[in-house]
Amino acid sequence: SAYHSVYGTYRSVRNTCAALLASQMRHLAFFSNARHYASSLEASLTPTEVPVEVYASLIDSVHRNVESLHHYTEVRRRALGLDTLRYWDLYVPIVKAPERRYTFEEACDLMLKALAPLGEKYVSVVRRALSERWIDVYETPGKMSGAYSADGHGMRPVILLNFQGTLDDVFTLVHEMGHSMQTWLSNETQPPRYQEYPMFVAEVASTTNECLLIRYLLDHTTDDAERLFLVNHFCEMFRGTLFRQTMFAEFERDANAACAAGEGVGADALCARYRALNDLYYGDAVQSDDEIAHEWARIPHFYYDYYVYVYATSFAAAVALSERMLREGEPAVADYLGFLSGGCSKTPIELLRGAGVDMASGEAVDAALARFAELVDELDRGI
């Protein structure tokens, strides 16, 4: 009912949404042409010092490994006992969640254990953050929703949470702590000119912490049902971050290219392009429909100038970095802390290469998606 209501409403204003998005794309095309860039994509990535090839290789890697997502949707279809999935079924739980709730103190203890592989230097600052109350923990009247980490020149980082004791809240805690720790280490190491770090690497630190937490939970659970839930949770992280954000990035790239070439970017053209991408990514287990074709109209990322891809690249880098640190120990941790301390003293690609991840080659994305395929195989055996 919600699905039909939401997308039925967007269908009724599809031409207005298409006109707004076309205006944004023409705006980007005008300034990229005026400044002699090859494309609005190149114009967007140049200030962040990220090569266009990184964007392209991300999409190519996902295309090479998209069968693993098809396998996941097929596992989901069988788990739900359906002949075919509809798009709303992608959000239905297929594994019963543990009923456990965490106090904030228990969440902090779990965070410290999960982040222990990062070494005492890192963990001691996390303890300091807890003891000095860098975190606004609970909901209060008038407090904004969500969570974030913020800082200013010459001040310590601060974290806003709305903690309610769920496992998702624990993941949010370690995520925001990752941001704050990158800020802290960069500010402690770099002069003011180089302290700010670009979006391309900002999500790596936070997502690496999430990967370390899920690995800790998987390694220490003794309950088969809980392990199956955690495996599915990790799969959903891949689906929602690496696959979905890459699909968004591909739509944004191709729609802007069509606009620059003078091709149609009306509602019909945008809907056809978006529906084809959903069919490609989710496979035959999911029944295509005209309503999902209108999802582009409600995605605000498409008005933000090619930034959404960094969620996918950051997730892939985080999987690679966490796996390397757990496998190699202290040398890999030293490289990673050097990355966190780098600010913007080097290009984002060079910073990650120094930590042991080459995002220019596509190997990190391929390795992350190979890990996803293993998780789906385990989920398939357990369902």
176 is annotated as an active-site residue = yes
Separation of alpha carbons 369 and 128, rounded Å:
36
* CA dist., res. 369 & res. 247, Å (int): 15
Residue type, 192: P
Q: Residue 10's closest CA among 256, 273, 296, 251?
A: 296
The first and second tokens of residue 61, run together, are 């890697």
- d(CA 24, CA 252) in angstroms, rounded, equals 11
From residue 182, give the alpha-carbon distance in Å to each of 40, 76, 109, 132, 218: 30, 36, 20, 18, 25
Distances from the Cα of 93 to the Cα of 77, 97, 155, angstroms: 11, 8, 42
Amino acid (1-letter code) at residue 310: V
- Which structure tokens are listed for 250? 């591909």
49-65: burial string, b at 16+ Cβ within 10 Å, e else: ebbbebbebbbebbeeb
**Active-site residue, selected from the candidate residues 42, 67, 105, 176:** 176
Structure tokens at 64: 């090479």
Which residues are catalytic, by number? 176
